[in-house]
Amino acid sequence: MLLLDIRHLIYFAEVARCQSFTKASQTLHITQPSISKMIKTLEDELGVVLFDRSGKQVELTDAGKAVLNQSRQIIASMQNLTSELADVINLEKGNLVIGLPPMVGARFFPNAIGEFKKIYPRITIQLKEFGSKKIEQGVEEGTLDIGVAVLPVKENTFDLFSFVKEPVMLIVHPCHPLAAKSGVFLEELRREPFIFFHKDFALHDMILDRCALVGFQPRIICESYQWDFMAEMVAANLGIALLPQRVCRELDPGRITMLPLLDPMIPWHLAIIWKKDKYLSFATRKWLDFTRSLLGTE
C-alpha cells in the first residue's frame, strides 16, 4: 500500500520540469536534501527509478514519464478541489494569477484591474509578465489561472475568448529606402537586418514562418523582450522590426516610419485563455465575466 501524499507528486513534477534537484528546491523553497529524500521515497514506494541522474541535468526514465503524466492529473484534481472548497468557505474572496505579455499589460489591464477591484475588493490579483509561449505553458500546468496569448493556441487544451485582431506593421528609420513606399511585401525584406522578438514570444515563430513561406530566413541581429528597445534600435537606423499596429501608433513618427505589410499579412490576434475542464474559481469566473463585458470579443 502506498503511503504517499500530494507533496511527493508536486516535488516530483517540479524536478521533472526543472530537470534539476537544485532548481526545484529553490522554486519550492525547501532544501535539496529534503526534496531528494522525497523523490527517493517515491521511487522506493513505486519500485521504479524515476530519474536518470548520470548527466548534468536529470532526465525522466520511461517509468518517470508514465508517473509524471498521472501525477499532473492528480495534482490538477487536488487544485480543483482546493479551489472549489475555497469558493464555498470564502464567498467573494480569492486570488487570481494572470499571465500577460509585455506589450499587452500596460495597454489593456491597469484600468480594468482598478475597476474590478472596486467591485470585488476581497479578490487579490497577481500579474506575471511572460512571452505568449510561457503563458500557454503556465496556464496548462496550472501556475497561471488565466493568461493573454497570441492565437492560435491548442484548441484541445484551452478555452478562450478573443478581444483584439489587428495587423503587424513594419517599422523603419525615416531615411530608409523603404520609408517612402505606401506598403511593403515581406519578400522585399530578405536582405534587411531584423530586430526580433525573443523566442519566448509567439510573434517570433509566426514571423519566421511567414518569412519561410516567401523563401528566406531573416537575418536577425538582435532579439529582445521589450518592444520599446526594438523601436529605439530602429530609430538608431540599426535595423528594421515588425510590431503590432497598436504599438506602432505610439511611436514618434519623426523618428520612425510605420508601413503596412502587403503580402503575406501577419495578424496579431489576442485572446484570454484558460485550461479546458479545469474548475474555475469564483475569482476567475468573475474576472472572465468582467473582461468580456469590458473588452468585448472579436
Give the separation between CA 296 and CA 298, rounded to whole angstroms.
7
pLDDT digits 0-9 by tens, 206-232: 999 999 999 999 999 999 988 999 999
CATH architecture of 164-267: 3-Layer(aba) Sandwich (3.40)
Sign for the pseudo-dihedral over CA of 248, 250, 252, 253? positive
Cell numbers at 111, concatenated:
484600468
Q: Model confidence over 16-25: pLDDT tens digits?
A: 999 999 898 8
Is the bond preceding 260 in cis, omega lying within 30 degrees of 0?
no
Taking the C-alpha atoms of residue 298 and residue 288, their distance in angstroms, rounded to an integer, is 15
Euclidean distance between the first and the last CA atom of the chain, given in angstroms as a whole number: 53
* Confidence at residue 1, expressed as pLDDT on a 0 to 100 scale: 38
Q: Concatenate the DSSP letters of all residues of 11-75 into one string.
A: HHHHHHHHT-HHHHHHHHTS-HHHHHHHHHHHHHHHTS--EE-SSSS-EE-HHHHHHHHHHHHHH
pLDDT tier, 178 (very low <50, low <70, confident <90, very high otherwise): very high
pLDDT score of 238: 97
Q: Tell me the pLDDT band of 203, cut-offs 50, 70 and 90.
A: very high
Mean pLDDT in residue range 88-114: 77
Q: pLDDT digit string (tens) for 256-293?
A: 999 999 988 899 999 999 999 888 888 899 999 999 88
Domain with CATH 1.10.10.10 in the chain: 6-86
> Which contiguous run of DSSP H or E holds residue 223?
strand 219-224
Pairing of strands 146-150, 94-100: parallel
91 has a pLDDT exceeding 50: yes
DSSP state of 256: -
Q: What is the CATH number of domain 6-86?
A: 1.10.10.10
% of the chain surpassing 70 pLDDT: 93
Phi, psi torsion values for 250, nearest 5 degrees: -85, -5
Q: Find out whether 4 and 13 touch, Cβ atoms under 8 Å.
A: no
pLDDT at 151: 92
> Which CATH fold would you assign to the domain 90-162+269-295?
D-Maltodextrin-Binding Protein; domain 2 (3.40.190)
DSSP state of 184: B
Handedness of CA 256, 110, 86, 6 (dihedral sign): positive
Instruction: Supply the pTM of this predicted model.
Output: 0.67
By the 8 A CB rule, do 167 and 265 touch?
Answer: yes
Closest CA to 36 of 56, 60, 53: 53
Report pLDDT digits (tens) over 33-59: 888 888 888 888 888 899 988 888 889
Confidence band, pLDDT 50/70/90 cuts, at residue 125: very high
pLDDT at 297 over 70: no
Residue 80: is its pLDDT beyond 90? no
What is the rounded average pLDDT of the residues 69-89? 73
Q: Collect all residues with Cβ–Cβ distance below 8 Å to 241 and sequence separation of at least 6.
A: 170, 171, 194, 195, 196, 230, 231, 233, 234
Whole-number Å distance between alpha carbons of 256 and 234: 7
Identify the pLDDT of residue 195: 97
More confident residue, 5 or 67: 67
The boundaries of every CATH 3.40.190.10 domain in the chain are 90-162+269-295
Q: Tell me how crowded residue 74 is: count the other CB atoms within 10 A of its CB.
A: 14
* Of 166, 177, 155, 236, the residue nearest 203 (C-alpha): 166
Contact 50, 61 (CB under 8 A): yes
User: How does residue 9 score in pLDDT terms, banded at 50, 70 and 90?
Assistant: confident
User: How far apart are the C-alpha atoms of 259 and 170, rounded to whole Å?
Assistant: 5
pLDDT value at position 155? 87
Every domain of the chain with CATH number 3.40.190.290 lies at 164-267
